[in-house]
């Protein structure tokens, strides 16, 4: 009787317990699914390998049948779903009551420490989602550009944030898409940074083409994490050569006028001057006034004229390129042709209205010429562009008339200019070496000739001081 009473008590107690539990779940409204249902039971992220993550999917025993998993995706904060490849591959048949861990190939380095959603889709039935947050690994980057120091390098600080969960190995510094060679950095790569550590380095990289532009510097790591810095660089330094003067009166020197624009963000320190000849030879200018040792400081909105000592006597009539260098890495240059070895000028032209069959022409070879001028012809260019050569000249030009330096000659030219009265005519003297001298004048009118008041009327053109074979004339 006692045994029967105990057994009866157990049965009645179990029944009451069952009724209580079932009643609780019924009150919650829980309903056993009528189709295939899976759930994500776990998601794991390895901080040293952000290229993958693992999830475990369970097909519970109360599911109606086996689950055919077709795709697995990641829902980002931008509300986009990125589907991933997995191992084992999809689609995958997950039997009822079993679970499977999938390795998902998807880089989450850019989503470190941010909320993500993992989505599992089935061929037929209810899929599953899971909210996850990958471990935080954060790189902080700061750059410093100092145009007053140099434009050929900049300083960079890379920091692994104290909140990072693991170390990183810095492998690359990328400047606006271009990888800076490891040899241009003052630290060896790869460089290990533990959480909370930082490193300062100098990057030897010319940023002259990027002055005043927005640039992005990216620091990449072996693990796949990146840090970046974006900002507008200081504006360009507008430093130029305003003028280069080679005077034939002093072939031992030349003058350079340099200018630093008001908009330049910094001063420049001028360190040296070079001259590049037509054949590529570079001449270093060793002496200037003011001197460049120590470097000459040229501030914004300022100019300076440098007198450079260089004997260019044997380089007359050649193209030379003058380059000015600064301590900061800025350069300025100018290409110019030095004065010709023969400086020829027409100093006087006489058109006598009493003799319209001739005119007189006085030609001067400068005392600063270093060779005689071998005059071969005299031509006239009319308003309509027609060019006519004076056929009869005295002294004759066959053979060419050799006019030595610092000497003049007056030619009597035979030409009937009666039909050209009041016209503009350009007279040009040509030499065998290719040098010329010319100017334009208006021929006089014969109707103004009155013999009873004057025996002759002379038109005289006097040239300004010769410069590079060109003459500016005035009527007297």
Neighbours of 424 (CB within 10 A): 12
List the CATH code of the domain at 139-232: 2.60.40
User: Are the C-beta atoms of residues 273 and 288 closer than 8 Å to each other?
Assistant: yes
The CATH superfamily holding the domain 39-132 is Immunoglobulins (2.60.40.10)
Render pLDDT for 244-261 as a digit per residue (tens, 0 to 9). 999 999 999 999 999 999
pLDDT confidence of residue 448: 60
Render pLDDT for 36-77 as a digit per residue (tens, 0 to 9). 889 999 999 999 999 999 999 999 988 888 999 999 999 998
Interatomic CA distance for residues 456 and 466, integer angstroms: 29
What phi-psi label fits residue 176: left (phi over 0), alpha (psi between -120 and 50 degrees) or beta? left
User: Are the C-beta atoms of residues 283 and 275 closer than 8 Å to each other?
Assistant: yes
CA dihedral 449→451→452→454, nearest 10 degrees, is: 80
Whether the per-residue pLDDT at 471 is higher than 50: the answer is no
Report field, pTM of the whole predicted structure over 0.75:
no
DSSP letter at 471 equals -
C-alpha of 77 from chain center? 37
Q: What would the mean pLDDT of 118-129 be, rounded to a whole number? A: 89
**Architecture (CATH level 2) of domain 344-475:** Sandwich (2.60)
Whether the per-residue pLDDT at 155 is higher than 50: the answer is yes
Interatomic CA distance for residues 354 and 358, integer angstroms: 10
The H or E element that residue 5 is part of is helix 2-28
Give me the residue spans of the domains in the chain.
Answer: 39-132, 139-232, 239-337, 344-475
The proportion of the chain whose per-residue pLDDT surpasses 90, expressed as a percent, equals: 76
Interatomic CA distance for residues 324 and 174, integer angstroms: 31
Domain 239-337, CATH among 2.60.40.10, 3.40.50.970, 3.40.50.300, 3.90.1310.10: 2.60.40.10
Q: Is the fold of 139-232 the same as that of 344-475?
A: yes
Q: What is the mean pLDDT of the chain?
A: 89
> 280: which strand partners?
none
User: Are the C-beta atoms of residues 325 and 341 closer than 8 Å to each other?
Assistant: no
pLDDT confidence of residue 28: 53
Whether the per-residue pLDDT at 462 is higher than 50: the answer is no
C-alpha of 192 from chain center? 33
Render pLDDT for 316-344 as a digit per residue (tens, 0 to 9). 999 999 999 999 999 999 999 999 999 99
């Amino acid at each position: 009787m006692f045994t029967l009473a105990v057994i009866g008590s157990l049965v009645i107690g179990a029944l009451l317990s069952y009724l209580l539990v079932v009643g609780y779940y019924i009150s919650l409204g829980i309903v056993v699914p009528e189709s295939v249902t899976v759930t994500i039971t776990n998601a794991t992220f390895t901080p040293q390998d952000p290229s993958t993550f693992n999830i475990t999917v369970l097909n519970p025993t109360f599911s109606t049948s086996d689950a055919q998993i077709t795709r697995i995706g990641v829902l980002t904060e931008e509300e986009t779903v990125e589907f991933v490849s997995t191992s084992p591959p999809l689609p995958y048949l997950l039997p009822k009551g079993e679970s499977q861990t999938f390795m998902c190939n998807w880089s989450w380095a850019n989503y470190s420490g941010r909320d993500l959603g993992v989505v599992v889709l089935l061929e037929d039935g209810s899929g599953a989602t899971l909210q996850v947050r990958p471990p935080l690994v954060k790189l902080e980057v700061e750059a410093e550009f100092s145009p007053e120091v140099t434009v050929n390098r900049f300083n960079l600080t890379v920091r692994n944030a104290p909140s990072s969960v693991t170390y990183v190995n810095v492998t690359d510094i990328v400047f606006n898409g271009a990888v800076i060679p490891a040899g241009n950095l003052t630290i060896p790569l790869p460089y290990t940074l533990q959480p909370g550590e930082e490193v300062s380095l100098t990057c030897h990289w010319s940023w002259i083409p990027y002055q005043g532009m927005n640039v992005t510097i990216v620091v990449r790591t072996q693990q796949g994490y990146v840090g970046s810095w974006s900002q507008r660089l200081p504006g360009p330094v507008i430093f130029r050569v305003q003028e280069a003067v080679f005077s034939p009166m002093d072939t031992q020197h030349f003058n350079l006028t340099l200018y630093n624009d008001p908009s330049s963000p910094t001063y420049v320190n001028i360190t040296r001057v070079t001259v590049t000849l037509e054949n590529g030879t570079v001449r270093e200018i060793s002496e200037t006034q003011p001197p460049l040792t120590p470097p000459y400081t040229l501030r914004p909105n300022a100019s300076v004229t440098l007198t450079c000592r260089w004997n260019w006597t044997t380089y007359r009539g050649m193209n030379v390129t003058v380059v000015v260098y600064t301590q900061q890495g800025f350069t300025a240059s100018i290409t110019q042709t030095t004065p010709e070895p023969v400086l020829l000028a027409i100093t006087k032209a006489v058109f006598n209205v009493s003799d319209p069959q001739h005119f007189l022409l006085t030609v001067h070879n400068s005392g600063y010429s270093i060779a005689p001028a071998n005059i071969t012809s005299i031509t006239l260019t009319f308003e309509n562009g027609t060019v006519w050569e004076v056929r009869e000249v005295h002294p004759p030009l066959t053979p060419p008339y050799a006019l030595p330096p610092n000497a003049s000659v007056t030619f009597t030219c035979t030409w009937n200019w009666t039909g050209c009265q009041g016209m503009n005519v350009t007279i040009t003297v040509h030499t065998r070496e290719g040098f010329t001298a010319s100017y334009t004048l208006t021929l006089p009118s014969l109707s103004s000739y009155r013999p009873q008041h004057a025996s002759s009327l002379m038109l005289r053109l006097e040239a300004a001081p010769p410069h590079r074979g060109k003459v500016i004339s005035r009527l007297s």
